[in-house]
Structure 1
Amino acid sequence: MSREFDVLYGASGVLETSDGRSRALRGERWCDEPDEADRALLDTCAGPTLDIGCGPGRLTGELAARGVVALGIDTSPLAVRLTNGRNGPALRRDVFAALPGAGDWREALLIDGNIGIGGDPAALLRRVRGLLRPGGVAWVEVEPPGAGVWIGGARVVRAGRGGAVFRWAVVGAEAIEALGLAAGFRRVRVTELFGRWFATLTSNPDDLDSVRPEADDSANPMWTMR
């Protein structure tokens, strides 16, 4: 299990993408307790909440500890075990497979770059929109402004050894609006929280102000994309 843990969540390693770029993997943060940005986001979650690509379960586990109905899903059996170890319910499941509660989730989380899952952010957001109830909210972590949309191949490299290539995508803050609207969401708001960037996608514009995370606007500028 320790070798599998190192491959998936070890602190040292990079994600190499077919455009020639390398991005540091954040294994230590994924395995740690929720940080300030995580907590600000989770404060808005009343549940039921679906954590897509839950990884080691820091978000699902925290929601469960707060008494919020939540479910983590991940294709990694280790991720499911680690999430269960945090007393967070989790299933080994692909987001495009049959899922419990489809069409009735109040919130869906795509955090830690998980908008890249499958290498097709448009299809992923359409799927997420279909998993939510009317008026449901998707929280999507995105790259800082300027990243645009990139789709291609990626692999995890650790200690000079690369894993299998898989499809991946990167979405910047300025690009999420068009993707969200095309997927059937009605309004998108992008927020910077403690140096990380999140988009709030809702099917009901009237609900957006009531679910946005609180932040110090002087340090974390916010704007609404229409």
Structure 2
Amino acid sequence: MAIDVTVLRVFTDPQGNYGNPLGVVDASTVDAGDRQRVAAQLGYSETIFIDMPQPGAGTAHARIFTPATELPFAGHPTVGAAWWLRDRGTPVHTLQVPAGIVQVSYADDLTSVSARSEWAPEFAIYTLASTEELFAADPDDFPADVNHYLWTWTDKEQGVVRSRMFATDLGVPEDEATGAAAVRITDYLSRDLTIVQGKGSVIHTEWSPEGWVRVAGRVADDGIRHLD
């Protein structure tokens, strides 16, 4: 049976450029044992499988897979799933993922999720002196057994960061926009941030001293992809 996959780009810039591709799948159309295979076949940094909410329900359940493994939480899939649910007329207040309950909110063209930093994978964080050093980094020079997050200030007063992320261990040599890493770096710096990652994707975060980080971004719909 053919599987319909909605392809989104999550964390675009205000003009709808860039963003991290995401596959969104109605979980009822794929057996649980086939989800890893489907994620690997699609090849996106993550694919999210959503149990569709009942009419009037305020929550939905979801599972997230990279091409190599399942994740308990990830930022760009949960933001993308929340946007997709509202776009199809079933907005939710929460998403239930294996890590816990993710709070969802909508404001104009931004979709937000709130998560705890400990839900995100561990990252080796590299503070670089300049964007030149950042752009010169080669993913092949970093060990494949851990996630690597490289960042530098571009406007410290305004909280603007430029970053890159390498996650070969997850089957993602370089990730265009990483919500989980945004959660980690926001908690690490203990302040609100605007993060420009990869080629130009934009992530907005808000830090809370209670251990929660809100991650917000824009989403673009690139249509349907069909898998056999």
Give the TM-score normalised by structure 1.
0.27
Which fold has the larger relative contact order, with Cα–Cα distance below 8 Å and residues 6 or more apart in sequence?
Answer: 2
Whose helix fraction is larger, Structure 1's or Structure 2's? Answer: 1
**Larger strand proportion of the pair:** 2
